[in-house]
Amino acid sequence: MKRLALSGLVAALFTGLAPAALAQDGPPLPEPATAPVTAPGARWDGLPVAEITGRLMAAGLTVAPPRTSGDRVYLRVDDGPLRWVMTLFSCTDGACPDVQFTAVFSGPLATPEIVARWNGERRFVKAFHALPEEEGGEGQAVAQFDVLLSQGGGAAQLDDPVQVWRSLALDLGRTVNPAP
């Protein structure tokens, strides 16, 4: 019976019924707000690399000069005991619309099981297990966090993601390599 109801819902969605027709006992769903993000024919290319770098530095981070490869820009960031990389993607004319935070941690507990448990207990930042760089070496846990930037948000939109990143990246580092 559940399968029949689900297939009916899917069929209704693909036959063009309005959302209100699918709601049986509630009021009609409001139409989504649509505000133009850019002028017709215009395209938003993202935040300038200099603004992103400046915002990271304003947060007390040390940022190495940008390195570029194709449409990507890489920023090495020193954050106290933590070193990580911010990759800026899809960059054109020195502006980038999305970023990815990445850090690599080695330690005796950088195992697939520990990394999977860590992922299951946390949101936003995700990690994966990587094999040791050399045979017999410690495994690695690689943390990553993707952020899509929005037009009109300016560089301040990085403030919350940077704080989430710093907290969870340090947590993963302590998890796979606990202090004695």
Q: What is the pLDDT along the chain (180 residues), one digit of tens a residue?
A: 433 333 332 233 223 333 333 334 444 544 544 434 445 556 889 999 999 999 999 999 999 999 999 999 999 999 998 999 999 999 999 999 999 999 999 999 999 999 999 999 999 999 999 988 778 778 899 999 999 999 999 999 999 999 999 999 999 999 999 877
Q: Where do the domains of the chain lie? A: 1-31, 47-176
Nearest to 49 by CA among 124, 142, 144, 149: 149
pLDDT at 65: 97
C-alpha torsion angle, residues 64, 130, 120, 97 (rounded to 10): 40
pLDDT at 39: 56
Q: Which CATH architecture has domain 47-176?
A: 2-Layer Sandwich (3.30)
User: Which pair of structure tokens corresponds to residue 94?
Assistant: 């020195």
Ramachandran sector of residue 126 (left: φ over 0; alpha: ψ -120 to 50; beta: rest):
beta
User: Which pair of structure tokens corresponds to residue 143?
Assistant: 């943390």
